Structure 1
Amino acid sequence: MNLKFKKPAVLLLAFVFSAISLCTVGFAEGGSYRELFSGTAEQNNFLFAPFNQTGATVDGEKTSNTSGDKAFGIGDSYYQMEMHAGYRDGMVMTFDNKSESLQDTSAGAGYTAEVAFDFRPDRTTDKPTKIRLYPADKSGTVHLGNRIVHLTFITQPDGATKLTVYDRSGSAILGEVNLSDVLGDYTKNPEHFFRIRAVFNPTDASGSLTRSFKLFVDGKLCLDTTYVDNAKEWRIAGFGIQSEAEYFGDLDNLTMCDYIGQRTDADGTEHINDDRAVSAIRCASILLSGAAEENELTQKLRTAISEAKEAYQSMTVQDDCDKLAETLEEEMKTYSNEDILRNLVFSDFTDEDAEMITKDLSLPANYMPATGGVFDCSFLSDKPEIIARTGEVTRPKYNETVTLTAKLTRDTDGAALEKKFTVRVLADGDVTPLGTIAGDKTVPLPTGGKRILFGGIAEGDASVSISFGGANTVTVENAGEFSVIANLQTEELILYSAGTVLETKLLEGDLQALSISGGTVNNSVLIKTDNYGYTVKNLLFATSDGQPRSIPVSGGTVTGAEIVCKDDTIESAEVLAAVYDNGVLYDTKAASITKSAGYNETFTLEFGASLPENIETAVVKLFFLNSLASLKPIAPEFSYVVSEEVNFNPVIYVAGDSTACNYSDSFFPQTGWGQALGGYFDQSKVTVSNHAMGGRSSKSFIDEGRLDTIFSAIKPGDYLLIQFGHNDQKDGDLHTDADTTYKTYMTKYVEGAKERGAIPIILTSVTRRIYNNGIYDNGNSLGKYPQAARELAADLSVPLIDMFNFSVDLVNTLGEEDSKDIFLFINPNDPRFTGDERFTQSRYNKNEATEDNSHFQYYGAEVLAGFVAQELDNLNLSLSPYYRPYTPVKP
């Protein structure tokens, strides 16, 4: 077989197989393989004539065309061909001046016709491109109005390409298949082109008039079917392409051939389906061309491609060809994964130095690597009490090293990658960076504070001596992170490292200057803190009849407090709760802390101090004492001014997927509706806590502990908005069945919120914007999930906000073009956003174009959030007084 490869001018890549461009591939003994014709877009001057929608030619002057018109042509071969340009930029080729038949009648049932070509669909539109194989009867008459089979390609906004195959009656024999799922994510690369190979047998071995048709895409068998057909249409006689887009994509290297004789071994093994190997080499080259820089990974992949090219020339059996393809495909996967992890660096989710963490981290929900695809991010922490999975930082007693594990899950196939980040969280207090200290150095100690800490990372083999003056000296023997603490309350000097107290001694005399001698200390800091004893997280209240409340009420009680321990050396304390009414002491209650608690551990202390009838004048104070007799305080008093809390600030928690979640500025203008919801309320009175995360289903959100995070914070009077469905449809760990498991998981959200005194509200999913041939699918792509959400809300007697119906009506009202303003349709240097500084650095400004039918730009998010806010107001909840409607402005 003479293989033709795509010319560099079309591929736009340095991808030339000069050594193998005429490689001959062997086939089974006893048969003969014939290339009937072949051509590339380099050939020109083929003829055009118009034809109508049914394929029949109509009157019109034939014109000459050249290769500059994104067309494919056939040069002199067994047949002279002409091109017909016509209906909606369609084209069809028919055979003229036939010198021999496509079917050798003596071959009988053994005849096989093949068409092989490379094709790149139009990725700038989701309108279909159709490729047809036309038949001819025994007399040689070509039937343009019919077809043996036709293929329809539709590209998705995320770059995925969907393929459907129809028989001559128009019935789908291969449903809509996402080729990325079949072939891998590299097919989303805009430079990727598919190698399509159609194998057609008009009769079976007995001569019965049935058709068998096999379709290979990039070397993988996508369809193998047999169906009854009309006796007149024996042969492949024409090839056509139609598109409703502005152009029909690149088509090159068209080859038509037939094989006379047995194509398979006795065991049924096909011989040398070379498409898969060629595709693997081509895809690897495309992937390599997208590399941002040359490094060890690109060099490794480049070597693998060279070895594959060389090995390809000697392929003689199918097993060898498959092995070559599998090896290179695995190398591509390794390269892609390593490249993604290599480029996911700490700076992607924090502006701080990884050795100096003092504030909450902004952990990404999504990651979009240069190699293509979208990954959802989730994080695990080996010390969640210091860095939670949400990125919330609770600064510790000593400097601590925390390992964050980023788990990246690809949204198309669920493939998962992991990368670990080691970060250093500084102890609680005021930080003075000292940098690198090599050799002897003296530094003044900070004044004030109940604890002074010096910490850093010891380098090399030399020991480091740290002194706060006189005998207040310790020695760090081994390299690594350490902290030296002068605890002025317990009068101790402590050496701490790797989670362990290595040495404790009593402080002697007054502290002097900090002195460092011996080896080198990197990333050193001085920290002073006033935290000591206990602090109060919040007070707990009840009504006069004992019902728990999260807000104080007239005549109720202060039942207790959530206490946070700020020092693990305190084993007992007395707490005095005092309630004042208009400045006069109203009631007091005492309680004892009798348990040891770890640093930053939270526990509940119970007492019952009465509140006055007029709570607007009430003040609650807590005093922490060594004993009620000595009245020596061990922590600052805690003062709670009730009048500031009478208008209890409710929190709206959002549990959902990427349609609702928050996005950083690097994703601008992509916005989730939950991110925009707070703008519709008085934000001094209502808080939106958006926990929605991209790529999550009702199941995976729970599996990852995200619902537990909400339940650990949600209080009576708060709200939980629950919206899932988009990802529940996916296979694998995300999947739930709409009628069964989806409802089971959604019920956990509702019941958990009710148990905690919060108000759950179910929301149906927002529709996808899917148009086929200009007809909107009215949200059918979400299947049964919206109805399942409605049924569950009714069964559990909870409010429902039907975002699905609202968004379907919205898309229908706006129409195919104007609805793009709601969804994430963005052009490079889009004038709507160039005036916003965030767009300058946005990844969407760097793309050639973005067409996303699932997610929203900020205007669309505001419109959807406005609907949710209005529905919340209509429910006449405690949120209604704080509802602040406005009309979003389209950019």
Structure 2
Amino acid sequence: MTLRFDFGPEGEAETGYIRVSAADAYDSAKGYGFVDGSRVTALRRGGDRLTGDFCIPFDAAFLADIEDGNYIVSITIGDAAAPTCTTLKTNGERLVLRNFRTVAGQYAQERFAVNVRGGKLKLAFGGIAPRINALEIAPSKEQITLYLAGDSTVTDPSENGYPQSGWGQMLSYFLKHDVAVANHAVGGRSSKSFIAEGRLNAILEGMKEGDYLFIQFGHNDQKSDEPRYTDPATTYPEHLRKYIDAARSKKATPVLVTSVHRRYFEADGKLKDTHGAYLDAVRRLAEEEEVALIDLAEKSKRLFEEAGPEGTKSIFLWGAPGEWMNYSSGVRDNTHFQEQGSLRIAELVVEGIRERQILPLTMYLR
């Protein structure tokens, strides 16, 4: 069932729409509303019923209870009297709009895909002048689903982990509404433990012909504990092959991604390779299995060496004491990214999709 919401001050909604005012806090009984909405306001500027009024969801989120699956979400943004600037993240804090601007009197409708797990659609608003006039949430069976299997460098962040971010969180920003990203990556997992925990099986439950499975491991396959460790010459490619076979069993397309590099430099400014044989194992497997390879290790090496030891601090999760709310004592993390860094890494993944001409996925890049 398609849901339609008309945002603004209390009053009559557009025909076929549900009215949402600034005072509508989320309530499970009605199944929608704002959370963290103490600074949500609503205004009426005049004009037609749907665009002439709106809510200003400043640093707030809107929830709607819906069944799990893929959706096409359409949002109308605009203000008759003022320019607007809206950033929007969906489930898993996935970026879909970044400083999206309209001029006074302009109304824009943007569409994007969302993969919902957990029975709720979440729209988290940011930006210096956010607006929402109208919202439509339509279930879709026709979209391609791009599944991600990986570790903490890929995963969606936890709500209290900001600004830590994986590149999978940012991938939706580069895709049209024809493709929904289902990010199953989880921190601390290796190619082995991901399977042992049933996570690959969970992906297969929803996978269909025409979908994609992007696979990036390696960081935790190096760990010495038995549940995670794999040998780059034997068990690592053996486990990766299970992902390839699983995707092909569903007539989906597997894509291998080499591990993104960590932030460690040699004295001469060259990046230190901390993954070694694990990278070569992925490259050999891609050739043997005739699977598309995005060499994120090579791409990130070039990016990090160009930025240098100092410049890469703005890519990785570095911060002075007090700089980040969730890391008040400061942080120096050479493995994980902050948001502007994960956005840059996602750009490299998209660059790889274009270079490898992974069709029809390339047709749906923004």
TM-score, structure 2 normalization: 0.60
Q: Distance in 1 between matches of 2:268 and 2:331?
A: 21
Distance 1:876 1:762, change over 3 A: closer
Q: How far is 1:879 from its partner?
A: 1.8
- CA drift at 1:778: 2.7
1:872 aligns with 2:353: yes
C-alpha separation in 2, matches of 1:394 and 1:651: 18
Structure 2 equivalent of residue 856 of structure 1: 337
- The amino acid across from 2:212 in the alignment is Y
Shift of 1:771: 2.8
**Is 1:812 the counterpart of 2:293 in the alignment?**
no
Matched, 1:829 2:312: no
**Aligned with 1:795 (options 288, 305, 309):** 288
**Cα distance in 2 between the residues matched to 1:799 and 1:792:** 10
Counterparts of 1:664 and 1:728, CA distance in 2: 22
Distance 1:817 1:880, change over 3 A: same
Q: Counterpart amino acid of 2:363?
A: P
Distance (whole Å) between structure 1 residues aligned to residue 304 and residue 334 of structure 2: 11
Counterpart-to-counterpart distance in 2, 1:739 and 1:357: 55
CA drift of 1:649 comes to: 1.4
CA distance change for structure 1 residues 689 and 779 in 2, over 3 Å: closer, same or farther?
farther
| CA drift at 1:699 | 0.1
Separation in 1, partners of 2:245, 2:187: 24
Query: What is the rounded CA distance, in whole Å, between the counterparts of 1:693 and 1:823 in structure 2?
Result: 18
- For the residues of structure 2 that align with 1:649 and 1:394, how far apart are their CA atoms? 17
Q: State the structure with bigger RCO (CA 8 A, min sep 6), 1 or 2.
A: 2
**1:739/1:803 CA distance change after superposition, 3 Å:** same
Aligned partners of 1:769 and 1:776 also within 8 Å: no
Give the direction of change, closer, same or farther, for the CA distance of 1:701–1:876 in structure 2 (3 Å limit). closer
Amino acid aligned to 1:863: R
Q: Is 1:883 matched up with 2:365?
A: yes
Give the drift of 1:702: 0.2
Residue 20 of structure 2 is matched in structure 1 by none
**CA–CA distance in 2 between the matches of 1:770 and 1:805?**
15
Tell whether 2:160 aligns with 1:666.
Answer: yes
Q: 1:843 aligns with which of 297, 322, 326?
A: 326
Cα gap change, 1:811 to 1:717, in 2 (>3 Å): same
- Indicate how the Cα distance of structure 1 residues 357 and 746 shifts in structure 2: closer, same or farther if over 3 A, else same: farther
SS of 2:153's equivalent in the other structure is coil
CA distance in 2, matches of 1:708, 1:768: 29
Partner residue in 2 for 1:552? none
Query: What is the alpha-carbon root mean square deviation over aligned residues?
Result: 2.8
Code of the residue aligned with 1:802 in structure 2: it is D
Alignment match of 2:262 (pick from 768, 774, 781):
768
State the alpha-carbon separation in 2 of the partners of residues 827 and 678 from structure 1.
30
Identity of aligned residues (%): 41
How far apart, in 1, do the equivalents of 2:258 and 2:358 lie?
A: 20
Equivalent residue number for residue 677 of structure 1:
171
Which amino acid is the alignment partner of residue 821 of structure 1? S
User: Which residue number corresponds to residue 252 of structure 2?
Assistant: 758
Q: Deviations over 1:561-609 (max 9, x none)?
A: xxxxxxxxxxxxxxxxxxxxxxxxxxxxxxxxxxxxxxxxxxxxxxxxx
Change (3 A) 1:843 1:694: same
Q: Distance in 2 between matches of 1:768 and 1:692?
A: 18
Q: Secondary structure in 2 aligned to 1:651?
A: strand
Give the Cα–Cα distance (whole angstroms) in 2 for the partners of residues 743 and 768 of structure 1. 21
CA gap 1:699/1:788 in 2 versus in 1, 3 angstroms: same
Question: 1-side partners of 2:29 and 2:163: how far apart?
Answer: 29
Q: Is the 8 A contact 1:718 1:759 kept in 2?
A: yes
- Do the aligned partners of residues 776 and 711 (structure 1) sit closer, same or farther apart at CA in structure 2, a change above 3 Å counting? farther
| CA deviations over 1:780-813 (Å, ceiling 9, x no partner) | 2112111100001111110000000111111111
State how far apart, in whole Å, the 2-side matches of 1:747 and 1:858 are: 31
Q: Is the Cα contact below 8 Å between 2:322 and 2:330 reproduced in 1?
A: no
Compute the displacement of 1:357 (Å): 11
CA distance in 1, matches of 2:292, 2:29: 42
Report the counterpart of residue 414 of structure 1 in structure 2. Answer: none
Instruction: Tell me the alpha carbon deviations over residues 539-582 of structure 1, each in whole angstroms, 9 at most, x when there is no partner.
Output: xxxxxxxxxxxxxxxxxxxxxxxxxxxxxxxxxxxxxxxxxxxx
Task: Work out the CA distance in 1 between the residues paired with 2:351 and 2:341.
Answer: 15
Partner Cα distance (1:800, 1:357) in 2: 47
The answer for the alignment partner of 1:136 in structure 2 is none
Matches within 5 A, 1:18-57: none
**Structure 1 unaligned regions, length at least 5:** 1-351, 360-392, 396-536, 539-640, 831-838, 885-891
Match of 1:695 among 175, 178, 188: 188
AA matched with 1:859: Q
Q: Structure 1 residues 871 and 769 mapped into 2: Cα distance closer, same or farther (>3 Å)?
A: same
* Rounded Cα–Cα distance in structure 2 between residues aligned with 1:788 and 1:669: 32
Hey, what's the Cα distance between the residues in 2 that align with 1:674 and 1:653?
10
- Among 193, 213, 220, the residue aligned to 1:727: 220
Distance 1:850 1:776 in 2: 22
Cα distance per residue 1:244-278 (max 9 Å; x no partner): xxxxxxxxxxxxxxxxxxxxxxxxxxxxxxxxxxx
CA distance, structure 2, for counterparts of residue 742 and residue 804 of structure 1: 17
Letter aligned with residue 676 of structure 1 = M
Q: Is the 8 A contact 1:725 1:785 kept in 2?
A: yes
The alpha-carbon distance between structure 1 residues 876 and 753, as it changes in their structure 2 partners (threshold 3 A), is closer
Matched, 1:748 2:261: no
Conserved 8 A contact 1:770-1:776? no
When residues 394 and 744 of structure 1 are mapped into structure 2, their CA distance, relative to the original with a 3 A threshold, is farther
Q: How far, CA to CA, are the matches of 1:769 and 1:869 in structure 2?
A: 21
Change (3 A) 1:734 1:762: same
Q: Which runs of 5+ in 2 are unaligned?
A: 1-25, 32-64, 71-137
SS state at 1:728 partner: coil
- Determine the C-alpha separation between the residues in 1 that align with 2:200 and 2:181: 16
CA deviation map 1:640-670 (0-9, x unaligned): x9xx87xx31111000000000013311111
Letter in 2 for 1:881: M
* Separation in structure 1 between the aligned mates of residue 171 and residue 268 of structure 2, nearest angstrom: 31
TM-score by length of 1: 0.25
Q: What is the match of residue 282 of structure 1? A: none
- Following TM superposition, the consecutive aligned residue runs of length 4 or more in structure 1 with deviations greater than 4 angstroms are 356-359
CA contact (8 A) 2:295 2:352 kept: no
Could you tell me how far 1:816 is from its partner in structure 2?
1.0
How many equivalent residue pairs?
A: 238
Q: Conserved in 2, the CA contact under 8 Å of 1:763 and 1:803?
A: yes
| Matching of residues 87-486 of structure 1 within 5 Å | none
Residues 827 and 850 in structure 1, CA contact (< 8 A), matched pair in contact too: yes
What per-residue deviation string (whole Å, max 9, x for no partner) do you get for residues 193-239 of structure 1? Answer: xxxxxxxxxxxxxxxxxxxxxxxxxxxxxxxxxxxxxxxxxxxxxxx
When Rg is computed on C-alpha atoms for both structures, the one with the higher figure is 1
Alpha-carbon distance between aligned partners in 1 of 2:214 and 2:184, rounded to the nearest angstrom: 10
Q: 2:148, 2:184 → 1: CA distance?
A: 6
Shift in CA distance, 735/703, structure 1 to aligned 2, threshold 3 Å: same
State the 1:394 CA deviation: 10
Identify the residue that residue 93 of structure 2 maps to in structure 1. none
Distance (Å, rounded) in 2 between the aligned partners of 1:656 and 1:358: 36
**2:211 match:** 718
Write out aligned runs for 1:633-644 (5 A).
none
